[in-house]
Chains A and B, each alone.
Chain A
Amino acid sequence: MKIKIATEFSSTPGARYREDGPNSGEEFFERILDSAYKRAIEKGELLVVDLDGTEGYATSFLDEAFGRLSSKYGAESVLKNMTIISNDEPDWVEEIISYIKEPR
């Protein structure tokens, strides 16, 4: 199962919270990521999150979305059931893994 943020959410992801402006990490988690993760687990599939094609990310967006996913389901489960694609900016993969391992 795959989510492409640029097409399924926004090509201009915002900051952390809804009050920070449109397309926030909070909104992405609640509207897309959480439900996609649940469906992937139910189907026994790997969730692939594709970060490419946007105009860039704020660290706060990624921290909020993936950090919350980790807080909700546990770092071990998220790292086992989800994979990140980021060919435009490969260092995001490592950064997101650190948010998952140490959620806020």
Chain B
Amino acid sequence: MKPFSDNLLYIFIFLAGFVFCLISFNLVQIQIDYQVSISDILSLIVTSIVGIYLGKQIQERHLANRFEKEYLMGEIVKLTQYMDTKHCFKNFNHVNFDEIKAAFKEINIMLTNLEMTVQDSNYSNTISVREVRQKFSTLRRQVLNISPINDYIVPQQSQVILINKEYKEFRRQLFRLITAIN
């Protein structure tokens, strides 16, 4: 059930409660001799049980949504933190070939997991990892297409500018995902 229909349900429960209270209050005020029958009590109990059940279901759904949201955001943060810990992403002027190759592999695996998690979540229609993936592929191609010299990639200054730009774009796309989830 979507949040919009949840809201409608809340309004309905509130209105039902309101009408019930109003009637009860009026019965007391005008002192109608009201005989409470077994069927009235039963219907009251059933209504209460249904109300409690619905409330519990809504609460559980909200909790699940919150958990999903926090989990997805946590995965993205984990990815950015991983990049922060890697020396190869700090300075693109002089990059160890094996280190960045392995780091790109790790990020790629994280992105694949993120894509699968998003697909299985409630966010599958609202957010997409496609643009992040595109930026990642461009960045990886720009860095790993340069031939290393003595195990180090030493790009020309113009290439460093492009790589830095692409890296910032990649990170920006990741943060856009967090904003979209939030």
Q: Which positions in A face B, CB cutoff 8 Å?
A: 12, 14-17, 19-21, 55-60, 63, 88-91, 95
**Contact at A60–B145, with CB atoms within 8 Å?**
yes
**Contact at A95–B137, with CB atoms within 8 Å?**
yes
Give Cα A15–Cα B143 distance, bound, in whole angstroms: 11
Q: Which positions in B face A, CB cutoff 8 Å?
A: 97-98, 101-102, 104-105, 108-109, 112, 133, 137, 140-141, 144-151
**Contact at B109–A21, with CB atoms within 8 Å?**
no
11 A-B residue pairs with CB within 8 Å: A21-B150, A21-B151, A57-B105, A58-B101, A58-B145, A59-B140, A59-B141, A88-B109, A89-B108, A89-B112, A91-B133
Expressed in whole angstroms, the minimum distance between the Cβ of B113 and any Cβ of chain A is 11
Number of contacts between A and B (CB, 8 Å)? 54
Residues on A with C-beta less than 8 A from B101 are 55-58
Give Cα A83–Cα B141 distance, bound, in whole angstroms: 22
**Contact at B105–A56, with CB atoms within 8 Å?**
yes
Expressed in whole angstroms, the minimum distance between the Cβ of B96 and any Cβ of chain A is 12
Which residue in chain B gives the minimum CB-CB distance to A22? B151
Known: A55-B102, A56-B102, A58-B101. A63 touches B145 (CB 8 A): yes
Which residue in chain A gives the minimum CB-CB distance to B105? A56
Residues on B with C-beta less than 8 A from A19 are 147
Which residue in chain A gives the minimum CB-CB distance to B103? A56
Residues on B with C-beta less than 8 A from A60 are 144-147
Known: A12-B98, A56-B105, A88-B105. A20 touches B137 (CB 8 A): no
Residues on B with C-beta less than 8 A from A14 are 97, 148
Residues on A with C-beta less than 8 A from B105 are 55-57, 88-89
Residues on A with C-beta less than 8 A from B150 are 21
**Contact at B137–A15, with CB atoms within 8 Å?**
no
Residues on A with C-beta less than 8 A from B104 are 56
Expressed in whole angstroms, the minimum distance between the Cβ of B127 and any Cβ of chain A is 19
Which residue in chain B gives the minimum CB-CB distance to A92? B108
Expressed in whole angstroms, the minimum distance between the Cβ of A87 and any Cβ of chain B is 10
Give Cα A95–Cα B101 distance, bound, in whole angstroms: 16
Residues on A with C-beta less than 8 A from B98 are 12, 55
**Contact at A91–B97, with CB atoms within 8 Å?**
no
